[in-house]
Chains A and B, each alone.
Chain A
Amino acid sequence: MDIGELFLSALEALSLNKMRTFLAALGIVIGIGAVIALISLGQSGQMSVQSSIQSLGSNLLTVIPGSQRSGGVNTGFGGATSLTYEDAKAIASSPQITTVAAVSPELQRRAQVTTGANNTNTQIIGVTPAYETVHNISLQEGNFISTDNVDSMSKVAVIGPTTASDLFGDGTDPVGQTVRINKIAFRIIGETVSKGGTGFGNQDDLIMVPLTSAQKLLFGVDYISSIAVQAKDANDMTTAQNQIGYFLLARHHLSDPTQADFSIFSQADILGAASQVTGTFTSLLSGIAAISLLVGGIGIMNIMLVTVIERTREIGLRKALGAQANLIVAQFLIESIILTFGGGVLGMILGTTLSYIIAKVISLPFTISLSSIITAFGVSAAIGIVFGWYPARKAANLSPIEALRYE
């Protein structure tokens, strides 16, 4: 009996026990599929968050009002009112602050935006011309908001491509059109180039207006929600953070840094915090994946062990008819290998397809990690092969009669 015949016998045995084959393969398919899909999604999410934060620019500092320790009560991210346009102007013009290239004061709110036909709820950002440099905005058409626009509180707006197509449809040129933001008419003077960002920090779905117009005309406030500061050099980040920090403390007449009514984050800080969150998220998914693998593994193990009695009798019979013990073990080993590899490949296809579809549906980047495939495959293959081979080896060492009587 050569290897080809053994292989055929193994295939035949698998096709004769369709239910057993199906259930064992199912355990493997689910185990591997779930691990691949879950790990892949976790990593896609992590990548998406990281790339969103990185797209902020590596020289960027963000100053927000409020601090984490204002008298024991956290005023919340961007909830406080302690930063003003004047603070931003002072930072930009201060001779003490030497490391700063551009300062962009911003006021962000959501508002209802309407045209004649359509309406949408989107992000409104009050900006100064510095916003264009600090956030790397490029225009596909028209102009960005000018110093004049800010000084004269103009009712002009620059629109993101997603908002533009929401409001005007895909073909229409938005520049020159009018939108009503909180019922006040604004003329569109420019449209930005798509940055392709998604979900978190989408930079295509927004409308920018002059900061002063946002403060006075739209929202009736005199504070701003954040100041984005571009450092001259990535190596100056810490210096810039300190210079701005002490400057603002002095401006706000505060002597003790622990009393600061503002916080300054670098992109690295945000990335660090976000990584912690997404890391937890990925660990959680990995935990679920590990449980799936365990459940799949137990499924494989169960079905292999449940059929041990029948298979032990089969082995006894084969021995009684003159089969060599090592030949029987080889056949069972080949059976297990076919089963685990077949199931493994199906599981990979299932897991990959599933994570691809989910990634597309919730518009995440699609990644597959080789290590998750190898781990999942290794674990299920080991379980399948061990629990297929070990009982066979045990049975093959019994006398034919003992094996035939096994119960």
Chain B
Amino acid sequence: MATIIQASHLGKIYANDSVNTVALEDVSFSVNKGEFVAIMGPSGSGKSTLMHIIGALDKPTSGTYYIEDTEVNKLPENKLAELRNKKIGFVFQAFNLLPRTTALKNVMLPMIYAGIPKAERERRAKEMLTIVGLADRMDHTSSQLSGGQMQRVAIARALAMDPAIILADEPTGNISSVQAGEIMKIFTDLNKKGHTIIMITHEPDIAAYTKRVIQLKDGKLASDQLNGHKFYGHR
């Protein structure tokens, strides 16, 4: 199977006013096309930091990182923007919807930057919102939506450009278990359609939806197992 993500010896050190925080240290792994991976670990173990690097939103301080054949660290700023736009759909831990903006416009946003014509943008955004079950909430702004609904708008936005890789930072962290089940069903369906999905979660029963679990501890990779507790090996 083709490798889509290849991370080697990733490290991230935050240097803030003389205090250096080591958030990631020597993390290596790879992900094949079509995999469904959960990243787990205690709070502060570096899960979000790793996810931001995978999503090309932040740069590692050491190590290399490939998406397909592209070395992401070496890309110029405009190519990075294109990569984020076309290849990656990111669902933030804190949703990050545009305030005072309707669900529909939020979902249309990445398509604006891809130069998709307005009619097409609107059609696709409606389609995505329907997939996440928000057909009747398209004209609501974020303040008029529940946490679970905002989460689903964020997912619809991540799907809008039909990206090969979907990265979700605790997509079920702020919502009830019923809603969490619905969202996991969406991800499972997307994975069946061939999207590669990497998802951070705290909860083992959410991780159980995935096929592989990567554990982080103190910024280091602690384990990497196929679901069913079989050792998968560092790759």
Q: Interface residues, chain A, CB within 8 Å of chain B?
A: 1, 5, 9, 16-17, 310, 313-314, 317-325, 327, 399-402, 404
Interface pairs (18), CB distance under 8 Å: A1-B115, A16-B101, A17-B100, A313-B96, A318-B113, A320-B96, A322-B82, A322-B83, A322-B86, A323-B113, A324-B113, A325-B77, A325-B78, A325-B81, A400-B84, A401-B52, A401-B57, A404-B96
How far is B28's CA from A206's CA once the two chains are assembled, in angstroms? 102
User: B57 near A399 (CB under 8 angstroms)?
Assistant: yes
For the complex, give the distance between the alpha carbons of A325 and B113 in Å.
11
CA A324 to CA B86, docked complex, whole Å: 13
Q: Which residues of A contact B222 (CB under 8 A)?
A: none
Q: Of A1, A5, A314, A399, which is within 8 A of B98 by CB?
A: A314
Residues A321 and B57 in contact in the complex (CB < 8 Å), given A16-B100, A16-B101: no
In the complex formed, the residue of A with least CB distance to B105 is A12
B148 interface residue per 8 A CB criterion: no
- In the complex, the number of residue pairs spanning A and B with C-beta atoms less than 8 Å apart equals 63
The tally of residues in B whose CB lies under 8 Å from a CB in A reads 28
User: B65 on the interface (CB 8 Å rule)?
Assistant: no
Q: Which residues of B contact A317 (CB under 8 A)?
A: 96, 98
Instruction: Select the residue from B57, B83, B92 with max chain A CB neighbours within 10 A.
Output: B57
B77-91 interface (Cβ within 8 A of A): 77-78, 81-86, 90
B115 neighbours in A (Cβ, 8 Å): 1
A322-B110 contact in complex given A16-B101, A401-B57, A404-B96, C-beta closer than 8 Å:
yes
Docked-complex contact B113 and A322, CB < 8 angstroms: yes
B101 with A400: CB separation less than 8 A: no
Which residues from B are CB-within-8-Å of A321?
84-85, 109-110, 113, 157
Question: What separation, in Å, do the CA atoms of A325 and B82 have in the docked complex?
Answer: 11
When distances are taken between beta carbons in the complex, the residues of chain A under 8 Å from B84 are 319-322, 400
Q: How far is the CB of B185 from chain A (nearest CB, A)?
A: 25
Q: Which residues of A contact B110 (CB under 8 A)?
A: 321-322
Chain B 33-68 interface mask (CB, 8 Å, partner A; 1/0): 000000000000000000010010111000000000
Contact of B113 among A313, A314, A327 (CB under 8 A): A327
Nearest CB on A from B142, distance (A): 12
User: Would you give the shortest CB distance from B170 to chain A, in whole angstroms?
Assistant: 15
- Please tell me if B75 contacts chain A, counting CB pairs below 8 Å: no
Question: Provided the pairs A1-B112, A317-B96 are in contact, do residues A324 and B52 lie with their beta carbons within 8 angstroms?
Answer: no
Residues of A contacting B55 with CB < 8 Å?
320
**In the docked arrangement, what's the CA distance between A137 and B167, Å?**
93
Alpha-carbon distance between A16 and B157 when the two chains are bound, in angstroms: 20
Question: Is B131 close to A, CB under 8 A?
Answer: no
Chain B 95-111: CB-based contact to A (< 8 A → 1; otherwise 0): 01011110000000110
